[in-house]
Chains A and B, each alone.
Chain A
C-alpha cells in the first residue's frame, strides 16, 4: 500500500511525514516524527492521554486519521514550554503535585490548555468538565483541578498562549 505524504505544523514548525493510509495521528507523531509527548493509552477514546490540539481544538490523536490532518496546525504538550520557561499550567501542575506516575499528564495539560485558551476564568465545574475525557488513576483528580484553577488565576499576560 502506497504511503501518503503529508505536511502539517507541529508546535509551530513545519513538518513532513509519510503515513500509511489508515494510520492514526498518534502513530505518525510518535513513530514518524519522534514526538513522544502524547501517549498511547487505550486506543479507544477512553483515557485521553493522546490528547492534542488540532487547529486549536481538543482531539484524540489515536482516533484521528492522520491523512485528515494535512495542512493542520497541531500542538502537543511538548510545545507548551517556551524554551526553559514552563507554561503556567506546567508550573501549577508541579506546585500542586498534580502528576504522580505522569502517564495522564500530557493529555491533562493539553485538555487544560484547551479550556483556558477559550475560557481564561473557568469555574470548578467547568474545569471538571474539561478534563472529563482524561483518566488519572493516581491523584484522585483533586490536585489536577486545583492546579488548573491556580493557573487560571495567573493573569492572561503571564499565560502565553
Chain B
C-alpha cells in the first residue's frame, strides 16, 4: 500500500487523525519528511498536511511571543521584531530550505540538525502540544524533547517564549566547517539577562553535543549572579563539558566536539553585549 495523503483544515482535526492512525505522519515544510519519502525510508502510511492558518500565525508584538509550528525560518528572518532570532534562523540550510523549513519541524530534526531548537531551549520556550481533539497544552521544551527521545508522537501547534528584555542578552553561534551553509559541529545559544556586572538567571543550550539539544546546567550555575568578566567566563568554561555526550559523525568526532566547545563558549560569552 503506497503512501496516502490527508489534508486537515484545522489543528484539532489533524490531532484527531494522528491519534487515530499511528502510521500518519505530519508534513510541515517537507524538508525532513519528503527526504524520508525520497530515500525510501517512508513508504507506507499517510502523509498529513495542515491548511489551518493558525498553524502559520505569529504573535510577536508583546513580551510573550507565540509562533505557530508552521512558521518558516524565512518568516522569522523577515520579521524585525524577531531580530534576536535571526542568527539561529539563518543557521538553518540555504535560502530555499529556509523558505520551507518550519519551527515545528526543527523540534523533530535529528542531530546535527535542529539548531533553531537550541535557541528555543535557551529561551525557556514552551511547546504547545495537542494530544487529540481539544485545546493545546503547554509543555516545557526540555520535557518535550525528553518525550521525543522516548518516541512519543504528539502534534505541535506552536511555541511560546518571553522576549529577551535586551536583544543583546541573547547570543547564538553555530560552528560549521563549510560556510555559509554547513552542518553543525556544534551550536550554542545563551540567554544572559541582567547586566555585565551581575548576570541574572542564565540559560545556555548546546546543539550536536548530545543526541538531543541539551541545557548546559553547569555553565548556567557558574554564570548566575557573577560578572561577565574574564574570571566569570573562565569559571563557565571550566564546566562547559558537564553533561555532554557528543557523537562521532561525518562532520566531527566526539573528541573534536569536546575540544572546541569550551573555546566557542568562551568566545560567545566574551562578545560585547
Verify A43–B39 contact, CB threshold 8 A.
yes
Q: Can you name the residue of chain B whose Cβ is closest to the Cβ of A1?
A: B2
Task: Chain A residues near B74: list those with CB within 8 A.
Answer: 57
Does A24 touch B at the CB level, under 8 Å?
yes
Mask, A111-123, CB within 8 Å of B = 1, is 1001100000000
Across the interface, name the chain B residue whose C-beta is closest to A129.
Answer: B180
Count, chain A residues at interface, CB 8 A? 31
Which residues of chain B (1-32) have a CB below 8 Å from chain A? 1-5, 27, 29-31
Q: Are B2 and A20 in contact (CB under 8 A)?
A: yes
Within 8 A of B (CB), among A128-144: 128-134
CA separation between A1 and B96, bound complex, in Å? 30
Q: Which residues from B are CB-within-8-Å of A44?
A: 35, 38-39
Contacts of A114 in B (CB 8 A): 95
Q: In the complex, which of the residues A22, A48, A128 contacts B96, with contact meaning CB atoms closer than 8 Å?
A: A48
How far is A152 from B10 in the complex, measured between Cα atoms in Å? 43
Smallest CB separation, B1 vs chain A (Å) = 7
Confirm or deny: A87 has a beta carbon within 8 angstroms of a beta carbon on chain B: no
* A51-B96, A63-B34 known; A132 vs B181 contact (CB < 8 Å): yes
A39 within 8 A of B: no
Give every chain B residue within 8 A of A79 (Cβ-Cβ).
Answer: none
Given A1-B4, A4-B5, is A62 in contact with B95 using a C-beta cutoff of 8 Å?
A: no
Closest approach, in angstroms, between the C-beta of A8 and any C-beta of chain B? 16
Interface stretch among A9-17, A64-72, A88-96? A64-72
* Known contacts A48-B94, A133-B97; A65/B2 CB under 8 A: no
B contacts with A, residue count (CB < 8 A)? 26
Instruction: List the B side residues contacting A62 at CB < 8 Å.
Output: 34, 38
Q: Given contacts A21-B47, A43-B35, A132-B181, are A59 and B100 in contact (CB under 8 A)?
A: yes
Alpha-carbon distance between A65 and B47 when the two chains are bound, in angstroms: 10
How many residue pairs between the two chains, A and B, have CB atoms under 8 Å in the bound complex? Answer: 90
- Do the beta carbons of B5 and A67 come within 8 Å of each other? yes
| B163 beta carbon closer than 8 Å to chain A | no
Partner of B95, one of A21, A22, A58, A65: A58
Minimum CB–CB distance from B116 to chain A (whole Å) comes to 15
For A1, A63, A115, which residue has the most chain B Cβ atoms within 10 angstroms? A63
Q: Which of A1-56 contact B (CB under 8 A)?
A: 1, 4, 20-22, 24, 43-45, 48, 51
A22 to B1, CA, bound (A): 12
Question: Which of A60, A64, A129 has the most chain B CB atoms inside 10 A of its CB?
Answer: A60
- A64 with B93: CB separation less than 8 A: no
**Is B198 interfacial (CB 8 A cutoff)?**
no
* Cα–Cα, bound, A114→B31 (Å): 19
Known contacts A63-B31, A130-B95; is A24 also within 8 Å of B4 by CB?
no
Residues of B within 8 Å of A24, CB to CB, are 34, 37-38
Q: Closest chain A residue to B100 by CB distance?
A: A59
Beta-carbon nearest neighbor of A26 in chain B: B38
* Per-position binary interface string of chain B over residues 25-60, scored 1 when its CB falls under 8 Å from any chain A CB and 0 otherwise: 001011100110111000000010100000000000
A65 to B181, CA, bound (A): 24
Distance in angstroms from A107 CB to nearest chain B CB is 9
Question: Would you give the shortest CB distance from A15 to chain B, in whole angstroms?
Answer: 20
Nearest CB in chain A to that of B90: its residue: A129
Q: Please list 9 pairs of residues, one from A and one from B, whose beta carbons are closer than 8 Å in the complex, sorted by A's number.
A: A43-B39, A44-B35, A44-B39, A45-B96, A65-B30, A67-B49, A111-B94, A111-B95, A133-B93
- Known contacts A43-B39, A45-B31, A63-B31, then 14 further A-B pairs from the complex at CB < 8 Å, ordered by chain A residue: A20-B2, A21-B5, A24-B37, A48-B94, A51-B96, A63-B30, A67-B5, A111-B94, A111-B95, A115-B95, A129-B95, A129-B180, A132-B94, A133-B95
3 nearest CB pairs, A to B: A133-B94, A21-B5, A43-B38
